[in-house]
Amino acid sequence: MAQTQTQTVLTLNGRTITLVGTAHISEKSVSEVSETIKTIRPDCVAIELDQNRCNSITNPDKYRELDIIKVLRQKQGFLLLANLVLASFQKRMGQSTGVKPGDEMVAAMNTAKELGIPAVMADRPIQITLRRAWACNSSTGKIKLISALLASAFSKEEISSEQIENLKKQSEMDSMMSELSEYMPEIKKVLIDERDEYLAGSIWHSDGNSIVAVLGAGHLAGVKKHLEKIAAGEEMPDLEKISSVPPKKAGTKIMGWVIPAIIVAMIGAGFYFGGKAKGTEMALSWILWNGTLSAIGAAAAAGHPLAILVSFIGAPITSLCPLIGVGLVSGIMQAVFCKPKVKDLELLSDDACSVKGFYKNRILRVLLVFFLSSIGSSAGTFIAGADIITKIASLFGK
């Protein structure tokens, strides 16, 4: 096995696998990837992309056919928002170097095509990764994930070319992975550990005895470990187990209906044991906390007046039904009355790089209305639920 700072060469079971570690917005990574492929001329080039991200990188018009209402109806609003935020963060980081996120991956594809070498997209679909990250997380972890996304979305941090190159150093990557493990262990497991395993399995399944794999530097150590285990027969390159979203546990599904039923039962008990005044007080608490905070969220997103009104009316109802969220209703209302224009589609990725852009772009504002009205409703549910419990306790405590 040979190794440099950014490359690891493995000889496993008669096959030579060269792992090239990159920083996704590094100019040096772009040239290194191309030179490595031209020098080695492998049988296959494996690239840390899935097919959808490959299409997005190579197609500058990727968002022109986006149907935002369809996205919301398919319950993919959060996934689209997360995708845009992550892409905009990388794009902002790359502005200081003049390199677009994924340019080294494009260089790998172009060089492979130029030399007539097959290229395979070796990464797990980003939608699966994000959905697993959400599904596998605790409530606290989900709050941390949302906070991290918001922080990256509105961050004005700039990074130098030297700092970008340092990201390829093992010590720098170890430090970052350690911090991520401590702050969000579930997220690190899905975003890093599982993808290390998936990438290794994809690389192993690639055709040929000589393979060049182009990966983010943070995956080098993990992919190397899994490849060595696969070669030794200690691990099977089985991708199916980490290629689907874990189904909701029966207990989670039941609780989705039990909690609303308890809320309704407590309000009913308020009417029965406390009379009309007490029951009305509890019902109003539920309606006003849910509706008001959801409407505030929609207003904070500069939503259309009808989207704000729908948030107020819809939140107390949707909070009692696990099948639909208020964000779906308010987001669709926003899209209907502030219909996105072609210009919004064309500028989507650019506008996602700034707070101003989120409010200027009609598609992004739909996502903001969807997200902030949902957050407001969730907060209202918690506060109203606590208030109703307090009122019930005082009623029976007399």
User: In this predicted structure, what is the pLDDT of residue 153?
Assistant: 57
Looking at residue 169, what is its pLDDT?
Answer: 52
Q: Left if phi > 0, otherwise alpha if psi is -120 to 50, otherwise beta: which for 258?
A: alpha
pLDDT in tens, the chain (398 residues): 444 457 899 999 999 999 998 876 667 888 899 999 999 999 999 999 988 888 877 775 666 667 788 888 877 777 777 777 766 666 655 555 555 667 888 999 999 999 999 999 999 988 888 788 777 776 666 666 666 666 655 555 555 555 545 555 554 444 545 555 566 677 788 888 999 999 999 999 999 999 999 998 888 989 999 999 999 999 998 888 888 877 777 766 787 788 899 999 999 999 988 899 999 999 999 999 999 999 999 999 999 999 999 999 999 999 998 888 899 999 999 999 998 887 877 777 777 777 888 899 898 899 999 999 999 999 999 999 999 999 888 877 65
pLDDT score of 311: 96
pLDDT at 202: 95
Q: What residue segments make up the domains of the chain, in order of their start?
A: 2-242, 250-396
Structure tokens belonging to residue 325: 């969220």
pLDDT of residue 233: 92
Distance between CA 345 and CA 337 in Å, rounded?
17
Q: Quick count: other Cβ atoms within 10 Å of Cβ 93?
A: 22
Rounded Cα gap, residues 73 and 88, in angstroms: 24
- What beta strand segments (E) does 217-282 contain? none
Statement: the pTM of the whole predicted model exceeds 0.85: no
Per-position b or e across 344-383, b if 16+ CB within 10 A of its CB: bbebbbebbbbeebbeebbbbbbbbbbbbbbbbbbbbbeb
